[in-house]
Amino acid sequence: MSRRPLVRSPLAFAAVVAAVFLAGCNPDGMREVNGRHMQPLSGKMLAEIESKNMEKESPILVRIFKQESEFEVWKEDKTGRFALLRTYPICRWSGELGPKIKTGDRQAPEGFYTITPGQMNPNSSYYLAFNIGFPNAYDRANGYTGAFLMVHGDCLSAGCYAMTDEQIAEIYALARESFLGGQKSFQIQAYPFRMTPLNLAKHRNSPHIAFWKMLKQGSDHFEVTRLEPKVNVCEKRYVFGAETSGKFNAAERCPAYKVPGDIATAVQNKQRLDDVKIAELVNRGTPAVPVKTGVDGGMNPTFLTAMKLNGGPGVTIRTAAGTIPNHVSAPAEASTANTFSFASTESKPVSGPRSSVQVASAAPSGSGGIGGFFSNLFGSKDDGSQVASEAAPKSKAAPAKATEAAAASKPKTAPRQPAETKTASAAPTKPQAVQPSRQEVDADPQQSKPTAVTDFLNGAAPTVPSGGFDGRFGVSR
């Protein structure tokens, strides 16, 4: 697959900047942008990009895995397909495994989301941030509520995915370079865990299993093609890879559509093989994990171990993967946590290669040269508007435990509640067959019967399909 040359033009820059300033208002009022958003990619990252046959400006795609507390950045290589660039350990996420349902449930979202330049916040009170885009069409069709759900720094979460400041600086820079290279938007795929047969077997008793099987369909599309899956929503469910002359409406009946034959065959074959493995694991006695409520997220073992060894919270801990601030508490099970299962959680994962957790680096920002030029583009506040803020709308006496609200001041340490931090990641499989705030939120999603293999392609997605890279220099909003 050939790729169009990446062309930087004043019009492309202007479009990106216009989208940024239309994003929304910062409750802190007008402030000068601090320049963090213009930190250049490190020499190490640039060398890694080149070694993987990628370009600095090529498109990116993100995958998030709650249970493993891992954040993957994929980047399009010169073959036109996505390859894994780096895996970041997540410093903190809140809530339980499962989708976000309502404002205040502290749930970090799960699903397929689209990030445009207008969702990037260079002036976040949490170092840097970008809005995930919750609720998307699927969420709205199912009546889910919430707003200002972010990926940001500061390692503190009330419904967000929190990284270290060093990590978010590098992730933000990767997104910035892709936008300036012409990418209109990038996709986030947020999962409860890696969609492996073992994990699905272990979580087979969860009330969210039908929703997760739907998400797996999107994951399988990506796994077999290494292309960003096209996502639509109809009949209150996600649909992947659909081609149609009709129109998708999230709450209405799906139009007649088809999935390209080679992709449909590859996805169905993968599904059948996975179903066989799941059945084998269950028959061999793989125990189902307890269904827990009242827990409050997780933290990657890299950071959890560092906190335990250094007596945190209350001290600033510097690790190879980034700095943990002194106000951060490790997740722990709350006294109110409930468990609805007597099954043991101890089952050894299937042996196989693990994806390595690599360290993020953030080079200091420059004040002059090209950095200064970009800063003028992203940093002007002439019209008094601001980029999207993750701060939730002001409310009367919102409990600190349930919100990380006012963006003007960093939240004090609030007692952190529980979490699942067990990790088990497998290296991504090779494509098959196909050549070529912050106030957050809980409730069980609408359940549907698990789809059979024959219905497997009727399944999961975001509101705005990113679709190819035609017309890449415009910025959709």
Q: Are 95 and 105 in contact (CB under 8 A)?
A: yes
37 is a catalytic site residue: no
Nearest by Cα to 263 from 211, 231, 220: 220
Nearest by Cα to 89 from 108, 66, 73, 69: 69
Taking the CA atoms of 426, 442, 464 and 446 in sequence, report the sign of the dihedral they define: positive
Whats the size of the chain, residue-wise? 477
Residue type, 184: K
> Of 152, 203, 208, 221, which is the active-site residue?
152
Locate 210 and state its tokens. 């039908």
Q: Are 30 and 381 in contact (CB under 8 A)?
A: yes
> Of 160, 203, 221, 234, which is the active-site residue?
160
Strands 161-162, 186-191: pairing kind: unpaired
- φ, ψ for residue 194 (rounded to 5)? -65, 135
Residues ≥6 apart with Cβ < 8 Å to 397: none
Residue type, 245: S
**Residue 191, helix vs strand vs coil:** strand
152 is a catalytic site residue: yes
Locate 464 and state its tokens. 């705005």
From the CA atom positions of the chain, what is the Rg in Å? 21
Locate 323 and state its tokens. 């700095």
Q: How many CA atoms lie within 13 A of 119 on its CB side?
A: 25
CA distance 85 to 60: 9
Q: Are 28 and 125 in contact (CB under 8 A)?
A: yes
**Residue 390, helix vs strand vs coil:** coil
Residues ≥6 apart with Cβ < 8 Å to 443: 101, 102, 105
Q: Which residues of 425-449 are buried (b: 16+ CB within 10 A; e: fewer)?
A: bbebeebeebeebbbbbbeebeeee
CA distance 120 to 389: 9
CA distance 406 to 412: 11
Q: Which residues are catalytic?
A: 152, 160
